[in-house]
Amino acid sequence: MTHAKRVISLAAAFLLVGAGALFAAGSRDATVPTGPIRLRMSTAFTLTSDQEVGARLFLDLVEQRLADRVRIEYVGGPESIDPFELAEAVRSGVVDIGGLPGSYFSNMVPETGAMYLSQISPQEERASGAFDLFGQAIRAGAGAQYIGRYNTSYQFNFYSATPIRTMADFRGVTFRSSPVYRSFLLALSATPITMPHSEVYTGLERGMIQAIGLTNFGVLERGWNDLLRYVIDPSFYGSDQVMIVNASAWERLPQDVQEVLTEIMIEVERESGILLQEIIDQERIDLVAAGMQVLTIPNADDFLNMAYESAWNTVLEQTPEAGARLRGLIAAP
C-alpha cells in the first residue's frame, strides 16, 4: 500500500470513529430532558387592550394547563410586527403563534375574508365543516394551523363626526376603512381610505376623515369619542380574530399537547365572547353618557342585506368555489 493510500485509509478510519462518537453523543443528548417547548407569540393589537381579551385568556389557560410542557413567550403586538405582516411572520417562523383578524391576511388566504361574514357560532362552524374548510385554506395559503377564533361576540359599527341618518347620507363621506367594510362603504357611495389606528385621531382632527368603521367597542379606549359624535346602528358582521400556529411548530408538538391546545381554544371561543360582551354593553352606556348620540338607520334589513351582499360579492370574486361552499355553511339560513 502506498503512503498516500495509507493516509487516506487512516483518515477514513478517524472519520468513522469520529462520526460514531458524535452519533453516540447525539443519542445521549436526545434522552436528556430539555424542559418545556418554547413558542413565540405576537398579536395584531396591544395585548393589554380590550381587543385582546381572548389572547390574554389563551395565554393564561396555556400557563395553567401546560406550564410543564409549553412556555409561550409573548414578543409584542403591533409595535413589534405590522399586523398586516403577522401572518407572514407566522408562516416564515419569525414567530410561532399569531393572533389576528382573518381579514388581515386575506391576500394570502382569500377564504379568511369570509370569516367575519359568519352568522353561526364557532361551535356550529366546527360541527358544520366550515372550521375544517377554513383550516385547510389557512394551511395551504399561510403555512399555519388554524386552532380557533376568539373575541367571538363583537360586531362592527360606523361612527361619525357628522349626522348620518339614512343610507343616502353615507354618500361622499370619507371613512377610515379596513378590508372588512371597504366593499360595504363603496356600495353606500362613501369614500373609504386606509389609515393606521395611530393616525385616526389626527385624521379626524384635521378633517381628512369624517367617520370611521370600528368594532362595537374600543372608541373610548382610543379616545376617539372626543371627535366623534354619532354611533350609527345597526351593528353588522362579526368577529374574525383567529389564532394560528406555524405548521412546522405545530407538527413538532406532541399529540396530547395539540389536543390540550385545541381544547383551550374551544374554551376561549366561548369564554372570551362572554367577557367581551360585558365590555361592549358597558361601552355603549359610557358612550351615551359621554354625549355620543345613537342614530339608527331606517330599513335596517336593507342596510344589513347590502352589508352582507357587498362583502360576499368580494369574497366570491376572489375565491369563487371555496367562497360558495363557505357561504352555504356559514350564512344565515
- The 10s digit of each residue's pLDDT in 52-71 is 999 999 999 999 999 999 99
Instruction: Please give the backbone phi and psi of residue 12, each rounded to the nearest 5 degrees, phi first.
Output: -65, -40
In this predicted structure, the answer to whether residue 6 has a pLDDT above a threshold of 60 is: no
In this predicted structure, the answer to whether residue 310 has a pLDDT above a threshold of 90 is: yes
Domains assigned to the chain? 37-154+239-278 (3.40.190.170), 156-237+285-318 (3.40.190.170)
- Report CA-CA distances (Å) from 167 to 172, 295, 304, 332: 11, 12, 11, 23
What is residue 195's predicted lDDT score, i.e. its pLDDT? 84
178 confidence band (pLDDT: 50, 70, 90): confident
124 confidence band (pLDDT: 50, 70, 90): very high
User: How many percent of the chain have pLDDT more than 90?
Assistant: 86
Neighbouring CB atoms inside 10 A of 266's CB total: 16
- Report CA-CA distances (Å) from 140 to 33, 132, 144: 33, 12, 8
- pTM, two decimal places: 0.86
What is residue 34's predicted lDDT score, i.e. its pLDDT? 73
Quick: pLDDT tens for 141-165: 999 999 999 999 999 999 999 999 9
For the residues 159-172, what does the mean pLDDT come to? 97
Quick: pLDDT tens for 245-299: 999 999 999 999 999 999 999 999 999 999 999 999 999 999 999 999 999 999 9
In this predicted structure, the answer to whether residue 33 has a pLDDT above a threshold of 90 is: no
What is the SS3 assignment for 237? Answer: coil
Tell me whether the omega of the peptide bond preceding residue 234 falls within 30 degrees of 0, making it cis: yes
What is residue 272's predicted lDDT score, i.e. its pLDDT? 97
Q: Which residues contact 17 (CB under 8 A, 6 or more apart)?
A: none
Grid cell at residue 99: 393572533
How many angstroms separate the CA atoms of 301 and 304, rounded?
Answer: 5
Q: Which is nearest to 196 in space by CA: 212, 207, 185, 181? A: 212
- Report CA-CA distances (Å) from 178 to 24, 252, 287, 302, 315: 56, 35, 23, 22, 15
For the residues 28-47, what does the mean pLDDT come to? 78
